[in-house]
Structure 1
């Protein structure tokens, strides 16, 4: 007989912290199942039986990583910086290269573009750190604050490109385009390949997911950026062809 997952505030905080502590989804599911079973049998509250959820997740992660001879700790911030930086730099290089190819001219990078990349990386890492900070309750859906922050971030990163147009770098179009593609593939491949989305938290007895994720949302997360970039490249090529014609 299958049972439904009971994800109250305590369990949701534990789930987020366990993810941040890099515990595998199968082990998180097993821990949640043990917590549910113990609380159902004893009638105890999880906070009374297991303590604070952040501390309990940290203890589980510490025990697992100590047993493997690995240092305990949360997911390092520098990885997020590298992914965000690689993605935004790749987008900038790719679009600049495509624009130069369509105009049959050298590619240029401006002060505003570099500032936009720096602001974008800081914004992405800052928003992620806020939404996934230790002890934060996991939202059941898309957090409106994330959408607001994303909208403001897009606007803020667009402004420097319009204000500071002084050229700081001139490069050949095709090499710059190639650099952009390489950076984007390196930054986005773990998501496109499905490795980051495959580690689900499931009930070991029933195989049911603790927090089912709609298939359409996974598709948007995985393919949103590539599709948007493809549309931008096609638009750049179309406009470039029209101007030269």
Structure 2
């Protein structure tokens, strides 16, 4: 097993007043040549947007973009004609493909919105742009690793153009889970949303990330009530 630890306080930061963002990998004005990506996982941004504020219309292409709201309501508009609002419990995906414009705004004028924006490098270029979102039942996360993303449109969760699988888990204290990789050539990036998780000999606190590869199974235990996001992605492109 090989690992790389990214503690919460080692992430890049950007604060524009209306936006406070933490970058696990190089993004925008944050550049770290040692933290360009974890395989196909190119961006993991932990964003807080002030009431009524947001990202104006901007372009993307040839990227799989996943948004996971953690708190509040995020309004999405795009050049495909989609106008939607996502909130905690929703998973949003957009295949930018040949090109798409979109905007994201805090729907509420009285409270912040917090969400993860995740970019995954696709295994197919110049696909037709696509949008989808789902709502998951929080009960499915209880002491379980629940699949929220895969490469298969007939599987649980949303799907993307990449051999990647994401799982969410909400664990009671001292709950132990074992994750078996779908492809032993892949790696897993574990990101602690809440609480504290022990993975092998490492303890991860809130918003710490751990990249793991050269392994077929990963065993971890919650040290307190915790929530974790596992992102399995190809290591080599």
What TM-score, normalized to structure 2?
0.19
Question: Relative to total residues, which structure has the larger helix share, 1 or 2?
Answer: 1
Question: Relative to total residues, which structure has the larger strand share, 1 or 2?
Answer: 2
Could you say which structure has the larger radius of gyration? 1
What TM-score, normalized to structure 1?
0.19
